[in-house]
Chains A and B, each alone.
Chain A
Amino acid sequence: MTPCAVTTGFFTLGKCGTMAVAGCPSCGRALCADHVTEGGLCPECAAANNRFGHPAAVAAYRRRAYRHRSAGVYQDTVWYTGFDSYDRAAFDPGAAASQDYLDDGDDALVDS
């Protein structure tokens, strides 16, 4: 039996492991019946191909994006100050307190 190679779980992640019935034509990973999407791809490749899932959702998004650009309803949510290149320079990788901060891809703004 070939086990399904899709990663599942919320806090503790693991491979699905259910018996595979197909392979993803894009990345080749083995897929169980539950993890084959409509187009035959794995969920990750399907999402990458079509970021917004359903084509109808994409169309709706474009319409809305246009409407809001023209109506200017984002106004009060825009933060106008912005950071300049001087602000940014302090956050280049070489400017960290310790290079050790960077090597496990730790991005958090707030650590605990």
Chain B
Amino acid sequence: MADGHRAAYLAFDRFPSAKGSAVHIRHMAAELFERYQGGLLCVLGGGDLPAYQREGGVEIVRFTEVVPNLLDRAEAFSAWAAEQLAPHRDTLELCHVRDPWSALPAMTTGATMVYEANGLPSIELPYAWPHAAPATLAKVRELERHCLARAAAVVVPSYVIKNAVTDRGVTPDRVHLVPNGADPAPADVPRPPDAPGRYLIYVGALQPWQGVDVLLRAFARLADLTDLDLVICSSVSPNRARPLRRLADRLGVAERVRWHYQLPHDDIAGWLAHAELSVAPLTACDRNVEQGCSPIKVWESMAAGTAVVASDLPVVREVLGEYGRLVPPDRPAELARAIRVLLEYPQVCRDLGENARKHVLAGFTWKHARARLADVYDLVVRH
């Protein structure tokens, strides 16, 4: 490599993976690397992922060290990433980061930094790590503040997280909204061969705040609809589904719930397009209410032309608006009722889905998201 890279994208996240975050990284990094005819991508590896790849002008380096403690691992990633960036210090113009542990090494390069805040570890971490003390989370929050303050621009997927970011001291004029998007499903995407006749669908991960338990309880209330199945396309491994499968058993619906794990992203479109309804039962926990999230599953359902029933949370209302059906979160009976009513009016369902699809095509495809990101880059990069 004769010349150093001019751009780098860093994420303390495995890439690629079956999760929504990977879809997001894919499109945002593509915009960055197209702009600079290449660049350096620093992400987490593991599994069969190669530690190093070169794809045209893009170099992909993956952190593969096994460090059991999450904080130790995050810091080891920072140190590793700083080493990866160091040879490019003289040429780097723009670093795009997704978290504080990516931001710290980026800040040592002197390049302009764009911080993409899809979530905030100080809000998110306690859900997976309940023993994290308030004092520890305050330090994480301070770290976020430190990194956000040094970003030339902060990119957020929703107004909800924009507020969380400005709460951490970022002036609103430096925060830019780049909503997630979805690419339109091909009109004739085939029905998956193992798809049941009529089914509801859930696509995504299975953490408690996703509310899949609420969906299972709602589904149990629809037992009289004997021709209706529930398909769960989990972005995480079968192990993570164990508690939910036990719940489905206890509710007596296990036979009508079909589980699929970590399907390739391209296969999801077919499952979504042929479902009666897509459900996003997010719970009203702090994580969803204060931090928000970027429900890529909602965007993708809309793009597939499938009507969406989702929890009425600010972050969902922002995406779905009048293009779907909002229900009170954490209320299985209300969710079941909304599903039942929509199933009784298939034309309403079809119209909702079709209008949602048009809405996405008109302004919220990944192409639109990339154009909005390009505008942010234009703003912060000196010519």
Contact = CB atoms under 8 A, between A and B. Distances in A.
A97 B240 CA distance: 12
B53 A108 contact: no
Interface string A34-50: 00000000011011100
A60 B87 contact: yes
Contacts of B46: 105, 107
A17 to B, nearest CB: 15
A108 B19 CA distance: 10
A10 to B, nearest CB: 6
A93 interface: yes
B53 A105 contact: no
Nearest to A74: B108
Interface string B33-62: 000000000001011111111110010110
B120 to A, nearest CB: 7
Contacts of B236: 104, 106
Interface in B1-50: 1-2, 4, 12-14, 16, 19-24, 26, 30, 44, 46-50
Interface string A72-112: 00100101011100111111110111101101111111111
B139 A43 contact: no
Contacts of B350: none
Contacts of A81: 139, 142-143
A76 B109 CA distance: 12
A47 B364 CA distance: 39
B264 A12 contact: yes
B136 interface: yes
Contacts of B54: 43
B167 interface: no
Given A44-B52, A108-B13, A112-B205, A53 B129 contact: no
A36 to B, nearest CB: 12
Given A10-B58, A81-B143, A112-B296, A87 B108 contact: no
13 contacts: A10-B55, A52-B87, A53-B1, A77-B107, A87-B139, A96-B128, A100-B242, A101-B240, A105-B46, A108-B21, A109-B101, A109-B119, A111-B207
Given A54-B1, A86-B133, 8 more contacts: A11-B23, A12-B16, A12-B264, A82-B139, A86-B136, A98-B243, A104-B237, A109-B121
